[in-house]
A = this chain, B = another copy of it.
Amino acid sequence: MAGDAESMAASQRSISVSEFFAKNRHLLGFDNKRKALLTTVKEAVDNSLDACEEAGIPPEIHVSLTQVGDDRWRVSVRDNGPGILREQLPQVFGKLLYGSKFHRLKMSRGQQGIGISAAGMYGLITTGKPVRVVSRTGPDDPGCEMTLAINTNRNLPEVMSDSPASVRWERGTEVEIEMEATYAKGRLSVDEYVELTAIANPHAEIHYRPPSGPVTFSRAVDAMPADTREIKPHPHGVELGTMMRMLRETKSETVSAFLRGEFCRVSEAIASRVCRNAKVCASRAARSVKPDDAERLHSALQDAKIMSPPTDCLSPIGAEALLAGLLKGIKAEFYTAVVRPPTVYNGNPFQIEVALAWGGDIAKDEGDKAKLIRFANRVPLLHQPGSCCMHKAVTDVRWGGYGLSQTKGSLPSAPLVVLAHMASVWVPYMSEGKEAVADYDEIRKEIKLALAECGRRLARLVRRRKRRKRHQDRRDTFDRYIGEVADAVCSILPDTDNSRLLSNLRAIAKTHTQRADEQYDDHGKVIRSDDIPDTIIIDS
């Protein structure tokens, strides 16, 4: 019989994580040739920026795309970061689920230990070519050049060649991947990704070489982003089973030391109180806590009043930089930015910032929808907008209240660009490809609050514009009839001085319709709106 327990057992076996993702590559952002190119550049640049920032080095990144055949491209990304030790190179570039960022709570672009190795695997699968990596840790290090092929059956790197580096640059890492891919300009392109990355990372210098010729995105600010700290998990985000495992594996001696040592915001006093409420002795050996005791301990910990986690672990882009980015890329009439205070979801600190630009050159066609630009930990998110929390937040806001038209549940139909950024020690992505943020209530709420504040600021201008338009229309109406009125008056009262009457009537019409214009004396000049923070109005 084909299907009895014995025969079924014979076909059971382990699946390596690289086999799994090779077959499910669309989960990682390699669904098609165009996206594969974008995902590869993105993963490499993310790693480069993370490494530079961690080492406190102002990033200088070279990205180049070279066509080497029909639907075949070579992607090369080089940074001036701290470099990677020779013995680490194979794992970092040739093994999925390997890295330094997964086991900590710290704001960084990478967090999974999958990205760049997956890109290398995709290259290998589609072209048979291994990844080429060069790294030097400084002028005294001769450096090393390796070619690496991931063994997908075992999720292990195979070193194909290993030699001293022969490069002139003194410090950094270069990765080169040949792959089946296509390059196209426009929406969802590598071009768009690099441009948005420059906006969200004004401290980085990016030299980009697409086929159409090199472009440099110069450093816009000299200051590095505020240094972000690693934090410990918050007790209100831990689950019972996880805490039980932590108890079994802890190096702390006592329960009290465990609570203070493995979580943030637990003082001696809080630990004692929690233990007392849970009827567990605070000085008991942590590893001997029984399931029932652990359950009471967990429940007491959840009930305890504990300060929110520290939020200085986050480094937002900032209103200034957001506005500068929008001003550079988009010709609008109104720009504003709101940075929300940090807050917490599932025990993880996060912070939302939103900027918007309105009017001007943004939308020429009536009915065009607003455009949403999304970032998470300074990385632009280009795909899957529909399932992203940020998109949902924008469609949830009632833009009608701010003078814009909107079909319920859609983006507003207005000349509007919205830019949203989530900074967090752990961004809950919808897929391993990190294309959209999962829809957590706390996150959506913060984005909506920021949007509402931007909306209120915009509404003042939109209302003023509407009023001004109305007054202008009224004056135009007066103007159209003033001549005839004057003529009529003159024919009734022949003594009247027609031209004096005309100019008097015009003056009256002007005073009556002028008030709305007062704010617009400096036609064509940039007005920094002092009464509205972080807002720029350009009137032409």
Contact = CB atoms under 8 A, between A and B. Distances in A.
Interface of A: 1-6, 8-9, 11-17, 19-20, 22-24, 26-27, 31, 51, 54-56, 82-85, 87-88, 91-92, 95, 97-100, 102-104, 112-113, 123-129, 137, 152-153, 180, 239-242, 244-245, 249, 291, 294-295, 384, 386-387, 426, 428-432, 438
Given A5-B137, A20-B102, A31-B438, 20 more contacts: A1-B56, A3-B51, A3-B54, A3-B55, A4-B55, A4-B137, A5-B82, A9-B87, A12-B91, A12-B99, A15-B99, A19-B102, A20-B112, A22-B242, A23-B102, A26-B428, A26-B430, A125-B241, A384-B387, A386-B386
- The residue in A1, A6, A431 that gathers the most chain B C-beta atoms within 10 A of its C-beta is A431
Given A91-B12, A100-B12, A102-B15, A128 B85 contact: no
A23 to B, nearest CB: 8
A56 B8 CA distance: 13
A386 B385 CA distance: 11
B97 A20 contact: yes
Contacts of A5: 82-85, 137
Contacts of A87: 9
A2 B387 contact: no
Given A26-B428, A128-B244, A431-B430, A100 B239 contact: no
Contacts of A295: 128
Residue among A13, A102, A241, A387 with the highest chain B CB neighbour number at 10 A: A241
Contacts of A431: 27, 430-431
Nearest to A14: B98
A242 B152 CA distance: 10
A150 to B, nearest CB: 10
Contacts of A180: 239-240
Contacts of A244: 128
A12 B92 contact: yes
Contact of A2 (B13, B54, B91, B92): B54
Contacts of A112: 15, 20, 24
A173 to B, nearest CB: 9
A519 to B, nearest CB: 40
A514 B31 CA distance: 57
A20 B384 CA distance: 22
Contacts of A92: 12
A449 B19 CA distance: 34
Contacts of A55: 1-4, 8
Contacts of A84: 5, 8-9
Contact of A128 (B17, B294, B387): B294
A426 B128 CA distance: 24
Contacts of A241: 123-129
Given A11-B104, A51-B8, A240-B126, A97 B17 contact: yes
A9 to B, nearest CB: 5
A99 B8 CA distance: 10
A17 B112 CA distance: 11
Contacts of A26: 428, 430, 438
A180 B238 CA distance: 13
A271 B8 CA distance: 33
B128 A291 contact: yes
Contacts of A113: 15
A368 B9 CA distance: 50
A102 to B, nearest CB: 5
A425 to B, nearest CB: 12
A432 B432 CA distance: 10
